[in-house]
Structure 1
Amino acid sequence: MAGKWPYKRVEEIALKVAMGPFGSSIKVETFTDTGIPIISGQHLRDAELTDSEFNFITEEHADSLKNANVQRGDVIFTHAGNIGQVAFIPNHSKYQRYVISQRQFYLRCDTSIILPEFVVYYFKSPEGQHKLLANANQVGVPSIARPSSYLKTIEVPVPSIEEQQVVVRNIKALDVKIRANRRINQTLEAMAQAVFKSWFVDFDPVKARIAAIEQGQDPLRAAMRAISGKTDLELDQMPREHHDQLAATAALFPDTMQESELGAIPKGWQVKRVGDLIELAYGKALKSTDRQEGAVPVYGSGGITGCHNEALVPHGAIIVGRKGTVGSLYWEDDPFYPIDTTFYVKPKAVPMTYCFYAMQTLGLNKMNTDAAVPGLNRENVYRLELVKPSTPVLNAFDGLVAQIRKTMQANETTGQSLAELRDTLLPKLLSGELSVDNTSAEAATA
């Protein structure tokens, strides 16, 4: 056996292993607004169940699916579709009771022998994933054959409860740091979106200047308040350099509006077709069997699908889902390889930052064609219209949002390093390269 820990079959450490319901047992027409939440793959992306949006069924319906009811402490696996997913329901979960879908099965641990968190971290490790997927069929819809009976035969490491607690505590500490980084980036992304909406959709700085003139007040000061969200007192307390920079930005916005085909827009700004602002370039086919080992991310319409050793696009760009997840948008800072289910954006005299947030307002995900294989027709996108601000305002927006995205990229890099440390910690313990006594020191260096 690998490492120094004893191994036991799952059936020796389980109180129960059971499958989800038959496909016909839960249908869309049985969904309700409240009741017992149904777990799906989107809730199993992290080690802990993600309490995001749920579909529900009635308590009576859930009672009739007794074997598919899960509770806090249960470990949930996916056996069809996105196989290899595994997560447990923590003690602080939003609901006490859930129902799993037909593509899932679960393990209820004997917690006097093994901790659910330890089981999850093991099955997320390379060794655990290899064992879990050894009985998988990748033809058509990926699936694990005889999932519940097969799971019972898998051998897992079973150190003492005390050792498990140390391992879980340290891996969880890294997970907490990773999630904190992710939340910070979500906040920063929301900030960038809010700036775009305020400047280029609601025209807040322009309207603030107009209102101030009408009321006999200082229009520059009004625009500064609109841009920064600060009061006059807070503006007075700003460092002079920041105050002057904000004033310079506020001065770039006009103080009148003009009519256009899209309604009233700031004077001097233009309405342009998307095709005048960007080019949607086609990605290139790259079979998974043709990919070489490397660190260049490969993008499909659903996001990163793997890596390759050479880039099709030698710089950062925006990726747009063309087929599959139509209209999806991804920002990539580094060289990458977009496959043929995607477009990538080539800006025409507008910053990449403006393109990214402007494209979020176009509703691209609703622009499926009626072809045999639904997809995004770029000529249809090109005909859409956007407000193009003046070049100085565009440059000011780019400078502000570029700094936000630079911070996001640094957080992403830190998160990747933390994830690599987390994902190698258990393998090092299993191989004997690292002892439980050293795990705290290893995690502390993160």
Structure 2
Amino acid sequence: MRLGDICSKIGSGATPRGGKEAYSTSGIPIIRSQNVLDWSFSSNGLAYLNDEQAKTLSNVEVHQGDILLNITGDSVARACIVPSDVIPARVNQHVAILRPKEKANATFILAWLQTNKDLLLKLASSGATRNALTKRMLEGLDINLPSIDIQNHIAELISLIQSKINLNIKLNGYLLEYLKTYAKTLYCEYENDKNAILPRNWRWAEIAEIAGMVCRGIAPKYSDVSDEVVLGQTCVRSNLILVENGRTHAPRKKTEKWLKKYDLLINSTGVGSLGRTAQVWFEPKKLVADSHITIVRTADPRYALYLGFWAFKHEKHIESLHTGSTGQTELPRDYVKTMRLVLPDDKTLNRFNKIAVPMVELIVANQRENKRLEEIRDRLLPKLMSGEIDVSKIDLMQLNSHLAEY
């Protein structure tokens, strides 16, 4: 059976006239490829259209239960189901809507797409220029569709695992936002009014005054036979480090550039990436950053978390410090060193750290748990989709209870 036979709609949208500059800060969401992750949706960077713009894209309005599939660029073949809280929405030309018919379960179709991602990537790379999946390619995909009962059972099992993953992602988002807001309450008043008198023993300081090291990462030599991982700019997203996006490279002699816990990473090259920040909240092993990332390491570790959450709230400012023309922008190391921030006294700083340390440890624990859950899901999927595992014999209530304790 072809995918086109079981979907009532397969199609992508467009960017409104005026490009990115035409987007609004509120209104009807327009979903772009950066919002579509594998299995999950990210609201980070979600853009909006006014009513008139949305009307011109009414033919690509997203409905409840639609599957979103990235069809161009480096993120091609990433797919998720649209969350209900962004509906009504539109998609741009880099995202396709797949709308299953009544006898096809959306989560099952999503699982099929994920299981056959290698096929999608191969199709996407068959073009003459950039990676792309066309409507014709998608419509012609052969899919083995079991009965709706089996589809529903597989979908329910996968949804149990995915809901736990999504819950951890949401919890991490809440924890991050709380700590960013808490840090902001310490410095916001004084940044907004440079003439405000600082409390006793508080002070203004340049990053250079509290940093033991500010430098770019290494120029890697990639290798598939190494266990040393180098992080690129795609590993710095939503103020978290995505080690799974890193690549292995030929081992080098250990230097001070090997990452340490609480190092602040700042994307420093290119429009769209420059200015994004994240911090190492775990004990890294054989982990480095590439030369497109600036590493900031505080001399006194007590300042590290405060500096990190300050940076998270100042990404726009960091981005504005770039030099160079569009497409070749760079963040000079000296500009990072001269950024100024308000430093609280020791008592206030210790109080912040007492709250922040256990919270970031919980964030890391949730990330690790999600990694294990994803491995379970990805091992199960091929066996479920092929029928090797009889899904009707799986006790979903028992599995749900186990995941609740996981």
Give the unaligned 5+ runs of structure 1. Answer: 1-7, 204-259
CA RMSD, Structure 1 to Structure 2 (Å): 3.3
For the residues of structure 2 that align with 1:33 and 1:271, how far apart are their CA atoms? 33
Quickly say closer, same or farther: Cα 1:280–1:439, change in 2 above 3 A. Answer: farther
For the residues of structure 1 that align with 2:5 and 2:32, how far apart are their CA atoms? 27
Q: CA deviation at 1:94?
A: 4.2
Query: Contact 1:84–1:129 (CA<8 Å) still a contact in 2?
Result: yes
Q: CA deviation at 1:339?
A: 0.9
Q: CA deviation at 1:377?
A: 1.2
Match of 1:411 among 366, 371, 375: 366
Q: CA deviation at 1:199?
A: 3.7
Partner of 1:190: 177
Partner of 1:154: 141
Match of 2:4 among 3, 8, 11: 11
Q: Which amino acid aligns with 2:180?
A: Q
Scaled by the length of structure 1, what TM-score is found? Answer: 0.73
For the residues of structure 1 that align with 2:4 and 2:127, how far apart are their CA atoms? 28
Report whether the alignment pairs 1:368 with 2:329.
no
Match of 2:268 among 294, 297, 322: 322
For the residues of structure 1 that align with 2:85 and 2:194, how far apart are their CA atoms? 50
Quickly say closer, same or farther: Cα 1:265–1:350, change in 2 above 3 A. Answer: farther
* Matches for 1:287-436 after TM superposition, within 5 Å: 289-292=222-225, 294=227, 296=229, 298-300=231-233, 303=236, 304=242, 305-308=245-248, 313-316=258-261, 317-324=263-270, 325-332=273-280, 333-335=282-284, 336-351=287-302, 352-362=304-314, 363-370=317-324, 373-436=328-391
Q: CA deviation at 1:407?
A: 1.8
* Matches for 1:57-96 after TM superposition, within 5 Å: 58=51, 67-81=59-73, 82-89=75-82, 92-96=84-88
Report whether the alignment pairs 1:120 with 2:68.
no
State the aligned residue count.
Answer: 374
Q: CA deviation at 1:398?
A: 2.6
Identity %: 21
Query: Contact 2:29–2:49 (CA<8 Å) still a contact in 1?
Result: yes
Q: Which amino acid aligns with 1:136?
A: A
Q: CA deviation at 1:118?
A: 1.1
Q: CA deviation at 1:282?
A: 1.3
Give the unaligned 5+ runs of structure 2. Answer: 237-241
Partner of 2:239: none
Q: Which amino acid aligns with 1:353?
A: L
For the residues of structure 2 that align with 1:298 and 1:292, how far apart are their CA atoms? 17
Quickly say closer, same or farther: Cα 1:361–1:182, change in 2 above 3 A. Answer: closer
Query: Contact 1:299–1:337 (CA<8 Å) still a contact in 2?
Result: no
Partner of 2:165: 178
Q: CA deviation at 1:83?
A: 0.6
Query: Contact 2:165–2:370 (CA<8 Å) still a contact in 1?
Result: yes
For the residues of structure 1 that align with 2:195 and 2:206, how far apart are their CA atoms? 11
Match of 2:207 among 256, 270, 274: 274
Q: Which amino acid aligns with 2:72?
A: A
Q: Which amino acid aligns with 2:377?
A: R
Quickly say closer, same or farther: Cα 1:72–1:406, change in 2 above 3 A. Answer: closer
Partner of 1:232: none
Q: CA deviation at 1:162?
A: 0.9
Quickly say closer, same or farther: Cα 1:377–1:45, change in 2 above 3 A. Answer: same
Aligned to 1:38, the other structure's residue is in SS state: strand
Partner of 1:217: none
Query: Contact 2:25–2:47 (CA<8 Å) still a contact in 1?
Result: no
Higher-Rg member (1/2): 1
